[in-house]
Amino acid sequence: MKNTGKAKAIQKARRTALAPLIALSFTLGFAAVSLAGCDNGSTSGGGGNSLKLSGNVVQYNRGTRTTTPFTGSVPLRFSCNNASGKIENGKLSATVGTPTNRLYTIESSLAMSTFLGVNHHLWSDWHVEPPDTLHHDFVMFIPSQYYYTNSGDPATRILNNQRDTNSGSFPAVYETVSYLYVDKDATLSAKGKTNRHGDGTQTVTQDVNLNLKEGWNMVLRTRTNTSASSTTSAFTCIESNPGFDWEVTFGGTEEGIEDFIYGPK
């Protein structure tokens, strides 16, 4: 699948940003949880011991930048041991309670660059208070028997909330919502900086100031490719459904990522 020169430039800029999460997107509904909002990149509120997620599912083709309805019915798997749900006829329904597994300190996850899927080196002076705060990054999966590469290999789909606003021109915006559980009220901060890369591109990160509440919090990560050589990246907390359609992302590119075919095989 061939891309235009401009689209290739956007892809090059995207590779300098945070590692993208392959995402299932779905229109998002909340019950049993209230996530309070934040202004100008800082957080107030959040919390709540459970989430109810629901909505329509679409498939996003990274190569053609188009979406099509996801009409299948598949079970789901979860990182949290207190969660259940499925996709039925293209509709997502999931309930998430309080996790008792995969609880790690934020500092240890930052050290392994596993916190919210970020390369933490793109920021400086990360600080968590209290430092012993435990967290769980919630992830959903479509099992591998329901997706296959076009060469027939099984492919587990990791599910996360994401919207790509990429029409083949700049700016191109990539937004990802993460669900973050913390076991106590906590603050998380970091200093943004300009990161210059060996290929002549740069990633500019914004300061992080998150006031997390005990329970589930919703964090929005926004990456904006302002040109072929420059990307900005920022975190904020949000209080309600951002209005996204949510996607199963797939599609071939010149990097060799194969198309995924909905099964089962």
CA distance 157 to 149: 11
Q: What is the DSSP string of the chain?
A: ----HHHHHHHHHHHTSSPPPP--EE-----S------STTB-----BS-EEEEEEEEEEETTTTEEEE----EE-EESSSSEEEEEETTEEEEEE----SS-EEHHHHHHTT-GGG--GGGEEEEEEESTT-EEEE--EEE-GGGEEETTS-B-PEEE-EEEEE-SSSS-EEEEEEEEEEESS-EEEEEEE-EEE-TTS-EEEEPPEEEEEPSEEEEEEEEEEEEETTEEEEEEEE-SS-----EEEEE---TT-PPPEEES--
Neighbours of 153 (CB within 10 A): 11
Domain count, the chain: 1
Per-residue pLDDT of the chain (265 residues; tens, 9 = 90+): 344 444 444 444 433 333 333 333 333 332 223 333 333 233 333 678 898 887 788 777 766 777 788 888 888 899 999 999 998 988 888 999 999 999 999 988 887 777 777 788 899 999 999 999 999 999 888 877 776 665 666 666 666 677 777 767 788 888 888 889 999 999 999 999 999 999 999 999 999 999 999 999 999 989 898 888 999 999 888 887 676 777 776 654 433 334 444 444 4
Both tokens of 65, joined, read: 């930048």
Neighbours of 251 (CB within 10 A): 17
Q: What is the pLDDT of residue 202?
A: 95
Query: Measured at the alpha carbon of residue 255, what is the angle toward residues 250 and 260, in degrees to the nearest 5?
Result: 25
CA distance 69 to 3: 23
Range of the domain at 115: 5-262
Question: Length of the chain, please?
Answer: 265
Q: What is the DSSP string of 115-127?
A: GGG--GGGEEEEE
Stated pTM of the model: 0.76
End-to-end Cα spacing for the chain: 24
CA distances from 152 to 144, 248, 260, 264, 265 (A): 11, 18, 9, 11, 8
Q: What is the DSSP string of 49-69?
A: S-EEEEEEEEEEETTTTEEEE
Q: What is the pLDDT of residue 140?
A: 85
Both tokens of 39, joined, read: 């202004």
